[in-house]
Amino acid sequence: MRELDFGYMLELFPILLRYLPLTLEMAGAGMVLALVLACLLAVIRVLKLPGLNALTLLFISFFRGTPLLVQLFLFYYGLPQLLAFLTQINGVTATIMGLTLHFSAYMAESIRAAIVGVDRSQTEAALSIGMTNAQLMRRIVLPQATRIAVPTLMNYFIDMIKATSLAFTLGVTELMGATQKEAAGSFLYFEAFITVAILYWGIVELLAWAQRRLESRLGEAYRR
């Protein structure tokens, strides 16, 4: 047995930090796009729009029912063989695409549940004073649905940040890819991977802290 090489870990830390922005970019872009798509899918589900509802169910079923890694390989290695214009696609774009589609399927369901979870009598009250459907959605339902959905959506965001590490299988040198390269040079695998683990952990803890603050702000109206 050998001793832990703390010196190496300390050296590695600033090197890996340089790759953090790319990881956060992929997660950030994926999250924003997934949110937009998920809201669309959720509204289709809530309003049960004919035709689109069935398509949405199929979409959700597929992207929840298959592993993210399989989906990434499909987009990066598979689809370009069928669709010529996709040969230009780079690993980062493919990852963002995969994360967006995969997580929007999960998020659509939790947004739908949040919308449905807003007390139905408040909808009736809004209608009774003459609000239109759009007005009551914007002023009454969505603000409350947001509060209900935030904890689960933040969970998905945390999951997504960690899932960006799969981009390294598409040849992207992000946090995980960089760690892999460093470890291959130094042969200090434990030190390398425990360092990157601590880095991910730190980011997630930071987010969890932000989540608690956000939830407490959104929960202001509900304290007794």
Query: Smallest distance from the beta carbon of 138 to another protein, in angstroms?
Result: 9
- Interacting span for another protein (CB under 8 A) from 52-60, 90-98, 104-112, 214-222: 214-222
CB of 36 within 8 A of CB of 107?
no
Contact between 139 and 131 (Cβ < 8 Å) = yes
Q: Indicate left, alpha or beta for 172 from its phi (over 0: left) and psi (-120 to 50: alpha).
A: beta
Phi, psi of 172 (to 5 degrees): -85, 130
- Our CB check for another protein shows the closer of 34 and 145 to be 145
Q: Scanning residues 95 to 124, which ones bind another protein (CB under 8 A)? A: 119, 121-122, 124
d(CA 37, CA 44): 11
The CA distance from 139 to 130, in Å, is: 13
Do you know the residue count of the chain? Answer: 224
Which has the closest alpha carbon to 42: 100, 133, 109, 123?
109
Site for another protein in 122-181 (CB under 8 A): 122, 124-132, 135, 139-140, 143-144, 147
Question: Least CB distance from residue 114 to another protein, whole Å?
Answer: 13
Give the nearer residue to another protein in terms of CB position, either 65 or 130. 130
Nearer to another protein, 213 or 223 (CB): 223
Least distance from C-beta 147 to another protein, angstroms?
A: 8
Specify whether the CB–CB gap between 17 and 203 falls below 8 A.
no
Whichever of 150 and 158 has its CB closer to another protein, that residue is 150
Residue 47 binding another protein, by CB under 8 A:
no
The two three-digit tokens of residue 163, written as one number: 């899932």
For the bound state, the minimum distance from the C-beta of residue 110 to another protein, rounded and expressed in Å, comes to 19
Judged by the rule CB under 8 A, the positions of this chain that interact with another protein are: 119, 121-122, 124-132, 135, 139-140, 143-144, 147, 220-224
